[in-house]
């Protein structure tokens, strides 16, 4: 397989693709924007010249820094096919290959691979932002690397080192730089995947693993944007149980919430808030977000004790809230406290901070006041964190990584 430098030199970003030999050439690619499909060849692109990219392994080649001409104002949160993805392999020796950039496209998997048969897989999510001076910022990528390593240990999988993970993220973002939305129009969502790709029939760890990173430009996760969402508390289905895998980002955790989420959305709710599986009265998390409850100057969030994912945005919001003088408590939070709160909000990589406008529990609906449903605390924390992520304020916490 050609090296990354040769691939990038031979395949113009807006031109013909060279597809992996492990799969047949697909039909002309399409991307979906606002629930419409567009042929890649039909999208006009605006050239903006060339510039040198600098990021360890990624510094060996130059990439065009043109920006794709998409409808950035109405991007939404969905998959947009970009140009390149990163792939590295790991055999039975537990060591990952150096990895390389290849054109984005299908991959081949053995029908008896560990990920397809036994769900041996993990994923991460982080974002890149374009600043006003056209540089790119990553937000705390080393935290995602550490969380993947923790999850891999729980799932009996090897994981790339923190250094390889972060460098692979840099390479992938720079190779797809033209897909990073203009400042203030969204972000480039980065999806690292670790999966058991080796063939296995009996229940056992896979003999081979594949680490992949792909990216997609995104807008708001919830269609409401920074506007209140409406949640329903689920007291029949449960997201996780003690001793399970609720605290790691394994793929099965997300498939299991689809039924409850589907039912909730059919009833007009934005998403589902889950309770603990033992007492059925303590808050856990939303389908893909952590939950926070505000009462006076105190902000409470469920403690991370094995059933709740330790969100990186959650961790960041706690630090930002403490710096603003709020009292932050990580503890058991009952559904009764939720219903009596002054304000409620969710946090996550995709949503950043999402204010909750109403909670419905066992037929009772509680609404939270605020400026058009957005509470003052939610607004303050959202503004502070996003300004830091997008390079609009000084990063006094050292959380951002700049790519130029």
Residue 71: the pLDDT is 87
pLDDT of residue 11 exceeding 60, the answer is no
Structure confidence by residue, pLDDT tens digits, 372-383: 778 999 999 999
Catalytic residue among 63, 249, 305, 364: 249
Query: Tens digits of per-residue pLDDT, 38-73?
Result: 333 333 333 333 223 334 444 433 344 578 888 888
- Alpha carbon dihedral 53, 392, 83, 347, in 10-degree steps, equals 130
Nearest to 353 by CA among 225, 236, 233, 261: 225
Q: Is 249 a catalytic residue?
A: yes
Question: What pLDDT was estimated at residue 170?
Answer: 98
Q: Does 19 have pLDDT greater than 70?
A: no
Please tell me the distance from the alpha carbon of residue 291 to that of residue 303, in angstroms, as a whole number: 10
Q: Note the pLDDT of residue 49.
A: 30
For residue 242, give both structure tokens: 């003690």
Q: pLDDT digit string (tens) for 94-132?
A: 999 999 999 999 999 999 999 999 999 999 999 999 999
Contact 120, 196 (CB under 8 A): yes
Q: What is the mean pLDDT of the chain?
A: 85
Instruction: Give 219's pLDDT tier (boundaries 50, 70, 90).
Output: confident
E-assigned strand segments in 19-112: 30-33, 36-39, 45-46, 50-52, 62-64, 67-68, 84-90, 100-103
Distance of CA 60 to the CA centre of its chain: 27
Question: Per-residue pLDDT averaged across 251-259, rounded?
Answer: 93
Domains along the chain with CATH numbers: 84-219 (3.30.470.10), 229-390 (3.20.10.10)
d(CA 343, CA 182): 32
Given a cut of 80, is residue 262 above it in pLDDT? yes
Confidence of residue 25 (pLDDT cuts 50, 70, 90): very low
Per-residue pLDDT band at 184 (split at 50, 70, 90)? confident
pLDDT of residue 99: 96
Minimum mean pLDDT range among 29-33, 170-174, 297-301, 350-354: 29-33
Predicted local distance difference test score (pLDDT) of residue 67: 85
Q: Is residue 214's pLDDT more than 70?
A: yes
Contacts of 39 (CB under 8 A, 6+ apart): 28, 29, 30
């Amino acid at each position: 397989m050609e090296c990354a430098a040769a691939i990038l030199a031979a395949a113009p970003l807006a031109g013909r693709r060279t597809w992996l030999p492990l799969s047949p050439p697909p039909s002309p690619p399409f991307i979906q924007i606002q629930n419409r499909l567009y042929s890649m060849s039909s999208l006009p692109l605006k050239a903006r010249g060339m510039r040198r990219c600098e990021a360890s392994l990624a510094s060996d080649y130059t990439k065009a820094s043109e920006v794709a001409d998409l409808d950035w104002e109405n991007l939404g949160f969905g998959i947009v096919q970009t140009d390149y993805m990163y792939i590295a392999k790991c055999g039975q020796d537990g060591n990952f290959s150096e990895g390389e950039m290849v054109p984005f496209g299908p991959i081949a998997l053995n029908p008896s691979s560990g990920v397809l048969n036994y769900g041996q897989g993990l994923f991460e999510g982080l974002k890149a932002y374009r600043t006003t001076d056209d540089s790119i910022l990553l937000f705390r990528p080393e935290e995602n690397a550490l969380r993947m390593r923790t999850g891999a240990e729980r799932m009996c999988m090897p994981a790339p080192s923190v250094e390889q993970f972060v460098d692979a993220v840099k390479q992938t973002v720079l190779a797809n730089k033209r897909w990073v939305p203009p400042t203030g129009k969204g972000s480039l969502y980065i999806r690292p995947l670790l999966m058991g790709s080796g063939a296995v029939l009996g229940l056992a760890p896979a003999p081979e693993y594949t680490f992949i990173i792909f990216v997609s430009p995104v807008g708001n996760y919830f269609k409401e944007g920074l506007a209140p969402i409406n949640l329903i508390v689920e007291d029949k289905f449960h997201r996780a149980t003690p001793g399970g895998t609720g605290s790691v980002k394994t793929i099965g955790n997300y498939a299991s919430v689809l039924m409850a989420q589907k039912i909730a959305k059919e009833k007009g709710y934005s998403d589902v808030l889950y309770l603990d599986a033992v007492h059925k009265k303590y808050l856990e998390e939303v389908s893909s977000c952590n939950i926070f409850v505000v009462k006076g100057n105190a902000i409470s969030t469920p403690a991370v004790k094995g059933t709740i994912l330790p969100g990186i945005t959650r961790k960041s919001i706690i630090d930002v809230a403490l710096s603003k003088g709020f009292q932050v408590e990580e503890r058991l939070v009952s559904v009764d406290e939720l219903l009596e709160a002054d304000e409620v909000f969710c946090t996550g990589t995709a949503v950043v901070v999402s204010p909750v406008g109403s909670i419905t529990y066992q037929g009772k609906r509680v609404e939270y006041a605020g400026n058009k449903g957005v509470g003052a605390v939610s607004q303050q924390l959202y503004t502070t964190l996003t300004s830091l992520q997008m390079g609009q304020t000084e990063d006094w916490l050292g959380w951002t990584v700049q790519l130029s």
